[in-house]
Chain A
């Protein structure tokens, strides 16, 4: 076990930390893939074919997952900055974490609805 992962002794901070790592890792993996697909811009036919795949329902579900990871990592990152740069500014750590998590879920549901809407209306297969 690393020093970091035992530091929080299993409280909400540790879950915030674990989720921060997992989401950060997954977002990075997507960035690596995304740089390669965008590099096809100078081959317009290939680029458009690949990007048509992003409209597939499985890819749309994947994009909803990406939205969750991105929003969580962004909001929790702000929490980390607050704790590091303004010590004592966060009084109730637990409720801040639950707030961040709830906001992430809420934004994922709203964004997910918009991303998946073409599937429900039958405009994609």
Chain B
């Protein structure tokens, strides 16, 4: 960063701004990489549950058979975590653009992050604790 550039910002504001720019660069990169992975995960998942099987056949025993193979548990957990991260980060962009009141925006973001975190925990517990033997 040149001294001319630095002089235009308040003293002490630079490190903060720089770390924010770093974060946004990582966020941009994450959206592309996770998007590319989700391209396959999400479309395969949808095809299996709505196209190659009818949705009414996706019962508990259907899931039990699928999750008997750890591969599909890992697959679904990746879809859960990447989907939530990618989606919540996307929603962050949307809130930055359309919720102009800073306090409302902060409150809305806090609510969204808490909701996403809670659902991440719920989904992870579901994938880890589900026992196929429960399926009658």
- CB of A111 within 8 A of CB of B43, answer no
User: What residues of chain B lie closer than 8 Å to A55, measured between beta carbons?
Assistant: 54-56
Q: Is A47 among interface residues, defined by CB-CB distance under 8 A?
A: yes
Given A44-B60, A67-B46, A77-B35, answer yes or no on A115-B51 (Cβ-Cβ < 8 Å).
yes
Given A24-B87, A55-B56, answer yes or no on A114-B130 (Cβ-Cβ < 8 Å).
no
- CB of A118 within 8 A of CB of B56, answer yes
User: What residues of chain A lie closer than 8 Å to B97, measured between beta carbons?
Assistant: 2, 4-5
Q: Tell me which of A41, A70, A80 contacts B63 (CB under 8 A).
A: A41
Chain B interface helix/strand/loop/mixed: helix
- CB of B39 within 8 A of CB of A78, answer yes
The stretch among B6-14, B101-109, B121-129 that forms the contact with chain A is B121-129
Q: Is B134 among interface residues, defined by CB-CB distance under 8 A?
A: yes
- CB of A77 within 8 A of CB of B60, answer no
Query: Whole-angstrom distance between the alpha carbons of A108 and B68 in the complex?
Result: 31
Q: Is A90 among interface residues, defined by CB-CB distance under 8 A?
A: no
- CB of B87 within 8 A of CB of A27, answer yes
Interchain Cβ contacts under 8 Å between A and B, 17 examples: A2-B97, A21-B90, A24-B87, A25-B94, A28-B88, A35-B123, A39-B122, A42-B126, A44-B60, A44-B136, A51-B55, A51-B56, A55-B54, A74-B38, A77-B36, A78-B36, A118-B54
Query: Which chain A residues have a beta carbon within 8 Å of chain B's beta carbons?
Result: 2, 4-5, 21, 24-25, 27-28, 31-32, 35-36, 38-39, 41-42, 44, 47-48, 51-52, 54-55, 59-60, 63, 66-67, 70-71, 74, 77-78, 80-81, 84-85, 111, 114-115, 118, 124
